[in-house]
Amino acid sequence: MTNHFLCLTDWTAAELDAIFALTKELKDKQKQGIAHPLLAGKTLGMIFEKSSTRTRISFEVGMYQLGGHALFLSSSNTQLGRGEPIKDTARVMSRYVDGIMIRTFSQEGIEELARYADVPVINALTDSYHPCQVMADLFTVLEHKGSYKDQVYCWIGDGNNMAHSWINAAAVLGFELRVATPKGYEPDTSVIERAEQLGAKITYTNDPLQAAWGADVLNTDVWASMGQEQEQLQREKDFVGFQINAEVIDAADGDCLVLHCLPAHRGEEITDDVIEGRHSVVFDEAENRLHVQKAIMATLMNKE
């Protein structure tokens, strides 16, 4: 097991399954009001270079429920915002806190942070990957389907950090994945090649209905992510047809689940009737960020 949670391909299937098992245990205890202070007396430093709703709340509440403390740090109120090298920040923070969570732009930057830190580093989102979100997604599928295995997953939309993490998850955990993106918006070739080397069962297409046919789980994300707002108008044209709507639901399995990492642009990548419909589990999925991340933090920060 690695000391950090940066990318799903750094972990084995058995290790990720252990996190799911701990997630269920911690969620059950929280629902029953049973204290579980696995990180009593420990502090998580949370670095935000990108804004957040679910990430900040879930990590902060999660640390509180685990008996620890979370410290919010933004680039605007730390020396990172004034150009302090990441390696210096890593070594200084390691002397103050027991773990570092970072939500930032560069995957290379988070890997440098982990290289110089003496405490666990958790990737809460980069432009390349969003591993905590996909873990929450898979745990939600596990809850509703009884297993995340033996399911056919369909990604419709941009070949972005979420698509990359789904590809990584399919490579490590072995489930079938279909990725449908507009031409020119395919996932990064290095991510695809690494998944192929791991024997992943992934189909890539530019036809969303083909990808959705008979699928058990449908998933999407906004057409323009943070930092791509200037591309919004062009993307609205390029992504026509790449929407989870009634037609896509009809093509999928009759008991399919619909996921969305939120926030959603209703009427763009997903319709309002779908996100409010019987197939949608997006709010269970959002809640499970809390429980999965607690399990990740406990696994990394409490070696006992």
Distance of CA 150 to the CA centre of its chain: 21
Q: Tell me the pairing of strands 99-103 and 69-74.
A: unpaired
Residue 130 annotated in active site: yes
Can you read off the two tokens belonging to residue 90?
A: 């890593």
- DSSP-derived 3-state class of residue 36: coil
Q: Which residues pair with 85 in a beta bridge?
A: none
Active site residue 266: no
Q: Which residues are annotated as a binding site for L-ornithine?
A: 161, 221, 225-226
What lies within 8 Å, CB to CB, of 8 at 6+ separation is 16, 129, 131, 134, 135, 165, 168, 169, 172
Of the residues 261, 279, 291, 293, only one is catalytic, namely: 261
- Residues contacting residue 187 through CB under 8 Å, at least 6 positions apart: 159, 163, 164, 167, 179, 181, 204
Catalytic residue list contains 154: no
Q: Which residue ranges are tagged as binding site?
A: 52-55, 79, 103, 130-133, 161, 221, 225-226, 261-262, 289
Beta bridge partners of 45: 71, 100
Catalytic residue among 56, 279, 289, 291: 289
Active-site residue identified among 65, 133, 243, 293: 133
Binding site for carbamoyl phosphate, by residue number, is 52-55, 79, 103, 130-133, 261-262, 289
Q: Which of 103, 178, 260, 291 is catalytic?
A: 103
User: Residue 144 catalytic?
Assistant: no
The verdict on whether 265 is a catalytic residue reads no
- The active-site residue out of 98, 127, 216, 221 is 221
Q: 278 catalytic, yes or no?
A: no
* Residues annotated as catalytic (active site), given as ranges: 103, 130, 133, 221, 261, 289
